[in-house]
Chains A and B, each alone.
Chain A
Amino acid sequence: MAKRSFLIPGVDKRLLIKDSLKTMPDVTRRRFIAGGASLGALTLLTGCDVVDSSSADALLAKVSKFNDAVQSFIFNPDALAPTFPESAITKPFPFNAYYDLDDAPEVDGKDWKLEVRGLVDNKKSWTLDELYKLPQFTQITRHICVEGWSAIGSWTGTPLRDFLKFVGADTRAKYVWFQCADKDGYNSPLDMRTALHPQTQMTFKYAGEILPRAYGFPMKIRVPTKLGFKNPKYVVSMEVTNDYKGGYWEDQGYNSFSGS
């Protein structure tokens, strides 16, 4: 067995380095390793910082879970997001993603099919033409980004709850989990109560026109009671499930419920 040495009594210094690496953003981590991660380099930081940051992270993650529960508790399934007149629409409505518009998925509407999986009676995949035949409604609501900015837009489509009932989804399940065509595989879980909210919409049009590529062609899920990052675009599949499958942003630390 390798000999262990301790900088702080009871703390293995190799574990200390490993732990502290975890708390660094990717670029910093790579630079830190490239620059020769060593205890010498580590001692530049105070021992207190190194040890505390991982325990602080654990505590923050716990509080975020608690905040999920609080938000779920105060969520009123009948409370509607405010709607606005057409004159209030933000023009141009911003394109927003973790990539540039040039890297946005280019989905061929003719080949595309929406896959429906999990706890549903009818697992048939849906073509765009079939989806377009479902009853559609328009709503003008405020999109609020996790970054703080907001913009008002007009979205048209089918209430998700109507679709879920139509395909015989088990609405007692906990989540509807969306997978999307974004690069690096965006996905996101939506709690069932929010999925059944009257304003949660399978969106096919923006401002009365077929959803453009920038806003998520061929289908977006518009959830006015969630922050923007929980509004999937370029949707490929939906799965009704009791398992928490994580999400692109949720796994990086954004609060999972992130409700409005």
Chain B
Amino acid sequence: MSSLRVTDEQVSTTPAKVIQPAWVRIMHWINALAMILMILSGWQIYNASPLFGFSFPRDYTLGGWLGGGLLWHFAAMWLLMVNGLAYLVTGFATGRFRKKLLPITASGVLHDVRAALTFKLGHDDLTVYNYVQRLLYAGIILVGVLIVLSGLGMWKPVQLYYLVMLFGDYPTARYVHFFCMAAICAFLVIHVLLALLVPKSLRAMIIGR
């Protein structure tokens, strides 16, 4: 989905403007930590009563046993939710979501997917997201909202019964929670892979430029 056509010359002639503002960088890395804690402790919890015919390898679970996994999960959830909420509020308030993620058009996405698959999709200007990026970044925000809502519903199915109702019933919320996790893991793999293919994007997420 990306290309390596970027040359050193382009990097050096680009004026040193901020690509990722500090708040985005800070929240991005807090979110990365929270997500990893949530996923690894979530796998521990999943293993206590698997939804499907497989378990996650013990070495990739957090907490040692179900009780430990739950302690991690219900601690890291605060980090994820507080940071996530701050990100959503700031993203809307600063207009970043509107400027960076919109519009998302079907023709734009089709065009960029085709370009990516034929290795013609450039990343010359990191401040502008292509349509594939817009779709994935907007999509993963939506998945993030869904996984938090389904998780909260499962945590408090009586007090927050309207969240459970949103998904139908308690067992359905559990499946939604699982598939959101799967979507986030898939995103994570692609996201990290592409960041490594375009190292200056990784640098921008660390030092901003």
Contacts and interface: CB of A to CB of B under 8 A. Distances in A.
A2 interface: no
Interface stretch (B62-70, B121-129, B183-191): B62-70
A56 B64 CA distance: 13
Given A25-B65, A148-B45, A59 B159 contact: no
A255 B45 CA distance: 14
A74 B156 contact: yes
Contacts of B159: 74-76, 79, 259-260
Contacts of B45: 147-148
Given A63-B74, A150-B170, A79 B161 contact: yes
The dominant DSSP class at the A interface is loop
Contact of A148 (B48, B67, B158, B161): B48
Nearest to B156: A260
A65 to B, nearest CB: 11
Contacts, number: 72
Interface in A139-166: 142, 144-150
Given A63-B71, A63-B74, A254-B67, A150 B171 contact: yes
B67 A81 contact: no
Interface residues of A, number: 33
A25 to B, nearest CB: 6
Given A76-B159, A80-B158, A150-B170, A255 B74 contact: yes
Nearest to A148: B49
B158 A67 contact: no
A67 B74 contact: yes
Contacts of A144: 157, 170
A74 to B, nearest CB: 5
A187 interface: no
A43 interface: no
Given A71-B156, A82-B158, A82-B161, 4 more contacts: A63-B78, A145-B49, A148-B48, A260-B156
